[in-house]
Each structure stands twice: as C-alpha cells, then as structure tokens.
Amino acid sequence: MAGAEVITMIEVFNGVVHLVLGLVLVAAVLSKKVKDGIVVKAGLICLALAFAAAGCMLINGIEWGAAIYLARALVLQSIGLLLLVLGYWIRRRRAGTPLTRISDWVDLDESDLPHVSGGRKP
C-alpha cells in the first residue's frame, strides 16, 4: 500500500511542477519584457498549454485508458520546443542583415529633417 501512495505523491508533485511551469510560460507570453517574435511566441504558447494539460492530468491521476492524452500533451510540448528553436535560429540568422531604414543611417536632428514630426523648417 505504501508504494501506491508514493506513486500518487510523485504524480501530484510532478503535476504541481508542470502547472507552475505553465504559469511561468504564460507570464513570459504576456510580458512586454520578453523580446520574442511570432514564432517564439507560438512556441511559448504551445509549451504553456502542454505543461498545463499535463499538470492537470497528473494531479487528477492517469488511468491507462487516458494515457493517450498525456502523449498528446507531450507532442504539443515537442512542437513548442521545436518552434522555440526555430524562432531562435531565425532571429540569429537575421542578426547580421544590413539596416534598411533611413533612420538607421541618419541622425534624426529636427533641424536637418523638416519632414520629421516636430521638425522646424530652415
């Protein structure tokens, strides 16, 4: 009987950890401090959903018939991780591209550029 209680405690602990990780990822998605693109944000959302689903299943207990749902959560977790890596790779690949906006090359001094909002005509 003690073995079954230990397995239940481990499942509950894992479920709580998964839920906390899901909440941290939701905070990262909603935070303005996290500089992410669309691909990275999609990866974070997939990971948050996967961790939340797995956490709920682990806390409620998993029966053999419902193990497919945990497998689906793991697939969603893998997709989220893949999207994170892909987004990071895209960002690193674009990091060396030349700047293309005029404001990247010119000092925006109001007296030099009268067409800039707030600029003065000479």
pLDDT at 1: 47
**More confident of the two residues 71 and 117:** 71
pLDDT digits (tens, 9 = 90+) for 74-122: 999 999 999 999 998 988 887 766 655 555 555 555 555 555 555 555 5
- Mean per-residue pLDDT, 20-37: 90
Q: 56 with 29: CB under 8 angstroms?
A: no
What 3 state SS string does the chain have? CHHHHHHHHHHHHHHHHHHHHHHHHHHHHHCCCCCCCHHHHHHHHHHHHHHHHHHHHHHHCCCHHHHHHHHHHHHHHHHHHHHHHHHHHHHHHHCCCCCCCHHHHCCCCCCCCCCCCCCCCC
Q: What is the pTM of this model?
A: 0.70
Instruction: Give the CA angle between residues 82, 87, 91 to the nearest 5°.
Output: 150
pLDDT at 11: 85
Domain ranges of the chain: 2-94
- Mean per-residue pLDDT, 63-80: 88
Surface-to-core class of residue 22, CB atoms within 10 Å of its CB (0-12 exposed, 13-18 middle, 19+ buried):
buried
pLDDT at 30: 92
For the chain, what percent of residues have pLDDT higher than 70? 72
Name residue, tokens 């397995």: 7
Read off the tokens for 110.
């109001």
Q: 50 with 80: CB under 8 angstroms?
A: yes
